[in-house]
Chains A and B, each alone.
Chain A
Amino acid sequence: MAKDVKPTRKNLMAIEDRIDLSERGHGTLEKKRDGLIMEFMDILDKAQDVRGELSDDYEQAQKKINMARAMEGDVAVRGAAAALQEHPEITTESKNIMGVVVPQIESSRVSKSLDQRGYGIMGSSARIDEAAEAYEDLLESIILAAEVETAMKKMLREIETTKRRVNALEFKLLPELYENQEYIEQKLEEQEREETFRLKKIKEKKEAEEKAEKAEQEAAEAAASADEAVSGDELEQSTAGGLPGGD
């Protein structure tokens, strides 16, 4: 608050420095926010597509497994699923989007060929193959969705933080600094005016004193010259009357 600030020139300079820094920071953060929003919009489009695909894949996988369970029996489907011990592998790396670190998920061994699914080919059916294939597709979609949605959430969080910072600078810090700056400037101007006035007063006073002194001096001088004149007359008179000792 302005009242807490000492209206000194040093503080004014410090505040001006801070204003300069904050304005630059505000500009940079605004650019970052806009950039993040643009990146976010791209990711959002991708996320919407991925969500749509995920939903379709899920529906498809459910349909396929329901058909397989209905026609082959739940026991047969569970049996086929149990014929494989190996799990898909997922590795995560990270990439940087405008300073936001987002994950990059790589999967392997999700989609399998007919002979890699564990169950025997000769005694199984296309219903089980298609259910397995549909679930492999679903798993791929889930992995992609996890990557995109995590990136989206991280971007969103970063946008929110940046927006808060921009708003804090724009609506809180900078207005306060401007207010302080104005306050100090006003105070300094006021002080300057006071100083000027004071100096003027001093000057006037001094001038008045000087004037009075001069007048006094003049009066004294006048008085002195008057005295001098009087004493001259007296001397003249005494000279004209003869000096008593001179006879």
Chain B
Amino acid sequence: MSAGASNPEYVNARVRARRAKLFADEDYRKLIRMGPSEIARFMEETEYEREINALGTRFSGVDLIEYALNRNLAKHFDDLLDWSQGRIYDLIARYLRKFDVWNIKTIIRGIYTETPAEEIRTDLIRAGELPDRTLDRLLEVDEIEDAIDILSGTLFYAPLSVAYEEYEETGVLVPLENALDREFYEHLLDGLGRPQEGPEAMYVEFLQAEIDFRNARNALRLARSGADLDPAEYYIEGGVLFTRSELNRLVADYDELVDHIADNRRYGDRLSSALTRLRDADSLIAFEHAIDAALLEYADRLSSIYPVSVSAVFSFILAKEREVENIRAIARGREVGLSESEIEDELVIL
């Protein structure tokens, strides 16, 4: 909870214990050689035992692994919010709100497609700030408008209410989903200012990178798609890579956009090889891969420089997300018959 004094020391002590349970690189190397059922068995003997056992009767194969991973992730992040107080709670919660966004989107999509509530429930990742009670209430409604009403009092209510009008006109979920994502990103840096040093400076730098990479990713997608969309509508404030007017101008010229990212002092070097490939290839996937790798580099720096701060907690959050993504990538990769080297090259970020 956000009330009370901040307790980074306590949270860090708890996080250190959790961090020790994360899979090591050698575990991934073992997993890469296993099939989906072996991976599930391997997970049964680790941190994921409870989730695998709880979900084993309902799911099997890679679905079991994916749901177990999501549930375990939710458990860990929920614990983080339970342990933390004051400022550190606020700093953690603002990032974990991305799971609130995920859950609201999932529920809205479920209502939109008239999916049974039980099916929607399994896809939720209860790792955000919204209480379970609110999520359960959201699952009970049949209309998107009612779902938005339930969210009154949260920061998502106002943007969703505005976007709902557009949804009613167009009949597609794009405005609602964009409103949710924008709200998440634009509140990441709320009240943080521009600290120049210390753990919060690194934290801010990481969040700025998150915003910049999201802007870069969206700008490149818009530039490639050739769709008649207003780039300004997809611009997120807070980053250092683009201003709104720059983004508007650059979306019209793909090469100039790539040059602009390459010329940036903060990210140019980190993304240079991916940008070179981006100039030659038609696909953005390699670039997204490079972005993910760059974000993880930030995360590693966060943990090593200020071990008893929000940075270290944040580093754990990112490491846990990476673990979940890697295990899921390995399991899905093995399921579809990708070779070990393909999984290593294209999916897993070690």
Question: Which A positions have Cβ atoms within 8 angstroms of B?
Answer: 62, 66-67, 69-71, 73-75, 78-79, 82-86, 113-116, 118-123, 125-127, 129-130
Contacts and interface: CB of A to CB of B under 8 A. Distances in A.
Q: Rank and list the top 3 A-B pairs by shortest CB-CB distance, nearest first.
A: A120-B177, A126-B284, A123-B181
B interface bracket (residues with beta carbon within 8 Å of A): 35 or more
19 contacts: A70-B336, A71-B329, A73-B328, A75-B70, A75-B106, A75-B123, A79-B106, A83-B174, A84-B172, A84-B173, A85-B113, A116-B172, A120-B177, A120-B181, A122-B177, A122-B178, A122-B218, A126-B217, A126-B285
A115 B228 CA distance: 9
A217 B181 CA distance: 140
Contacts of B177: 83, 119-120, 122-123
A73 B218 CA distance: 20
A69 B335 CA distance: 11
A115 B346 contact: no
A66 B343 CA distance: 11
Contacts of B78: none
A85 B332 contact: no
B109 A82 contact: yes
B329 A122 contact: no
Contacts of A83: 109, 112, 172-174, 177
B66 interface: yes
Interface of B: 62-63, 66, 70, 101, 105-106, 109-110, 112-113, 115, 123, 171-174, 176-178, 180-182, 184-185, 214, 217-218, 220-222, 225-229, 234, 236, 283-285, 287-288, 325, 328-329, 332-333, 336, 338, 346-347
A84 B112 CA distance: 8
Nearest to B343: A70
Contacts of A85: 112-113, 171
Contacts of B328: 70, 73
Contact of B221 (A69, A86, A126): A126
Contact of B285 (A73, A118, A130): A130
B66 A121 contact: no
Nearest to B184: A123
B332 A127 contact: no
Contacts of B70: 73, 75
B221 A118 contact: no
Given A120-B177, A126-B284, A70 B347 contact: yes
Among A66, A69, A82, A126, the one with the most B-chain Cβ atoms within 10 Å of its Cβ is A126
Given A79-B105, A82-B112, A113-B227, A118 B284 contact: no
Contacts of B222: 114, 121
Among B178, B184, B222, the one with the most A-chain Cβ atoms within 10 Å of its Cβ is B178
A69 B110 CA distance: 19
A163 B314 CA distance: 77
A121 B332 contact: no
Among A78, A82, A120, the one with the most B-chain Cβ atoms within 10 Å of its Cβ is A120
Given A79-B109, A82-B109, A123 B101 contact: yes
Contact of B234 (A73, A118, A121, A126): A121
Nearest to B227: A113
B74 to A, nearest CB: 12
Nearest to B349: A71
B173 A122 contact: no
A115 B170 CA distance: 11
Contacts of B333: 66, 70
Contacts of B225: 113-114, 129
B172 A118 contact: yes
B218 A130 contact: no
A82 B221 contact: no
A95 B186 CA distance: 56
A116 B222 CA distance: 13
B9 to A, nearest CB: 34
Contacts of A86: 171-172
A74 B234 contact: no
Contacts of A78: 123
A177 to B, nearest CB: 64
A155 to B, nearest CB: 37
Nearest to A133: B225
Nearest to A113: B227
Contacts of A71: 325, 329, 347
Contacts of A79: 105-106, 109, 123
Among A67, A69, A78, A121, the one with the most B-chain Cβ atoms within 10 Å of its Cβ is A121
